[in-house]
Amino acid sequence: MATAAATSHDGELEVLRVVVYRDGDLYMAQGLEVDVATQAKDIPSLLVRLDLTIEAECAMSKERGGEPFAGIGPAPNYFHGLWDKRSVQLKHLLFPIGHHFRSVEVALAA
């Protein structure tokens, strides 16, 4: 199941990995290659919010005259550790953010 972050020949991110985990009554989604996150009470709502969060970040970056995700580093190592402990790959067929990445992988942490 291991997937390394992929970049294209021009340094742009091609793959975004997102780890989903439960924190109390909420589900959290945390991007690994870019430190963006969101939360919701259930996984379907979480995936919709994830889409909106990433689209909003792209729009704000463009308003500032930059590239999407410019200035946003990777998530802290703790979240990469959660990815290593993932148990289930989640399918989200309607990822509108897919046009920013070659692929988006979402997995539920054990």
pLDDT of residue 81: 94
Q: 43 - beta bridge partners?
A: none
Domain boundaries, position 96: 15-109
pLDDT of residue 32: 95
pLDDT of residue 15: 82
* Within a domain: 101: yes
Query: Residue 25: which CATH number?
Result: 3.30.160
**Percentage of the chain surpassing pLDDT 90?**
39
- Confidence band (pLDDT; 50, 70, 90) for 1? very low
> 3-class DSSP state for residue 68?
coil
Q: What's the alpha-carbon Rg for the chain, to the nearest Å?
A: 13
With 0.95 as the threshold, say if the pTM is over it.
Answer: no
Number of domains in the chain: 1
Residues in the chain: 110
